[in-house]
Structure 1
Amino acid sequence: MKTLKLLAVMVLVCTLSAFTITTEDKGYEVGDIATDFSLENIDGNMVSLSDYKDAKGFIVIFTCNTCPYAVAYEDRVEVLNKKYAAKGYPVIAIMPNNTNVKPGDNMEAMKARAKAKGFTFPYLMDKGQEVYPQYGATKTPHVYILEKTEKGNKVQYIGAIDDNYKDASLVKEKYAENALNALIEGRDVEVNKTRAIGCSIKV
């Protein structure tokens, strides 16, 4: 009888452990409060969300140099920053890849790419690959729109920038912009989660 009880306890512990791991691995859902971070920018400074005292929220985008999907969206990310930073929602770009696997995403390459493209937003490196798993990001690009609230930075949208990575002129649904416009106007975000299209994050 004692053996059976011990076995039952062990099974329960294993089940709970598996559940805990799964819960942690899934990342944020819409409505969750995102934890702040401190990551190195291409200018050598450390950047945190808390640095932006006057921001109303953030457009956090996990992206990189080497993924063709991310490259296809670079200009659109710049447009987002120019359009919405002044309205209180700046872009915070984060490079999540393991640079041993993707040396084209190392800090020097990030600096060169940002200079060549004229990025007006911070381009941070998730050097220890600790931030992207918290968010649950799986692709480059992968977008998380946060809104500052009394409880913290609330996740209001997760997914793709829009519905056509190939051609900006053929976009029919601007998911990120629609979400941002709703937040700025005090409305609920109607489509708050879409499927991110891009390259898998390299670990």
Structure 2
Amino acid sequence: MKALKIVLSVLVFGLVSAFTFNRVVTSGYEVGDKATDFKLKNIDDKMVSLSDYKDVKGYIVIFTCNHCPFAIAYEDRIIALDKKYKKLGYPVIAINPNNPEVQEKDSFELMKVRAKEKGFTFPYLFDEGQKIYPQYGATKTPHVYVLKKTKEGNIVKYIGAIDDNHTDETAVKVKYVENAVDALLKNKEVSVKMTKAIGCSIKA
């Protein structure tokens, strides 16, 4: 009887673990999903929503932060993305998903400092309470979601990395985000819809 209880306990634990694992892996948006809007505080202390952008064609939503070396390595490329595509209707919307109680370098006040130091040309929003990044399913910084604005809502068209080389910009061979946005601007299908985001884990 005792052995049977142990076996049953292991089976139950295994089922619960499997369910939890699957739930975590499959949580968040997939390509083709409609992304809900949000209202988050920008570094200028104003609240920002996607709906504030009336005349855009879509958005390049990037979960990033201050401290992560991967995020830092991509800062200039994120600025370049915004400068190139904002005028074409796809502005960058950056969101810091990290909990500053876990990583103090990602506090709201230090976000302001970093944005000023780097001359960010885009909103840098604070996911206070960490409510938005789980909806998207972001796991890394940086983690990108390209959204197309449609009558049905903001549809996810690409998820993943910015490009294929986080260590050396000069060695980049495939610019995933640029390719995705370029395709959307031509009303074409995005060829590579999902890649693995490379970066620091989000600090919850």
- Pair in the same fold by TM > 0.5: yes
1:118 and 1:70 map into 2 onto residues whose CA distance is 15
Q: Percentage identity across aligned positions?
A: 64
1:123 matched to 2:124? yes
Segments of 5+ residues of structure 1 without an aligned counterpart are: 1-10
Q: CA RMSD in A?
A: 1.7
Call closer, same or farther: CA 1:91–1:168 in 2, change over 3 Å.
same
1:57 and 1:31 map into 2 onto residues whose CA distance is 14
1:90 matched to 2:91? yes
2:85 and 2:114 map into 1 onto residues whose CA distance is 22
1:202 matched to 2:203? yes
2:24 and 2:73 map into 1 onto residues whose CA distance is 32
- Does the Cα contact within 8 Å between 1:25 and 1:133 map onto a contact in 2? no
In the alignment, which residue of structure 1 is the partner of 2:71? 70
User: How far does the alpha carbon of each residue in 1:126-182 deviate from its partner, in whole angstroms, 9 at most, with x for none?
Assistant: 011000000000000000000001110000000000000001110000000000000
1:161 and 1:181 map into 2 onto residues whose CA distance is 14
Call closer, same or farther: CA 1:83–1:99 in 2, change over 3 Å.
same
Q: How many residues align?
A: 188
1:128 and 1:108 map into 2 onto residues whose CA distance is 16
Q: TM-score of the superposition, structure 2-length normalised?
A: 0.89
CA shift at 1:23, angstroms?
7.6
Segments of 5+ residues of structure 2 without an aligned counterpart are: 1-11
Tell me which stretches of 4 or more aligned residues in structure 1 moved more than 4 Å.
none
1:80 and 1:131 map into 2 onto residues whose CA distance is 22
CA shift at 1:26, angstroms?
1.1
1:61 and 1:125 map into 2 onto residues whose CA distance is 12
2:156 and 2:139 map into 1 onto residues whose CA distance is 16
In the alignment, which residue of structure 2 is the partner of 1:132? 133
CA shift at 1:22, angstroms?
1.9
- Does the Cα contact within 8 Å between 1:24 and 1:134 map onto a contact in 2? no
2:172 and 2:23 map into 1 onto residues whose CA distance is 35
User: How far does the alpha carbon of each residue in 1:79-135 deviate from its partner, in whole angstroms, 9 at most, with x for none?
Assistant: 000000000000000000010011101011100000000000000000110000000
3-state SS of paired residue (2:54): coil
3-state SS of paired residue (2:164): coil
AA aligned to 1:134 is Q
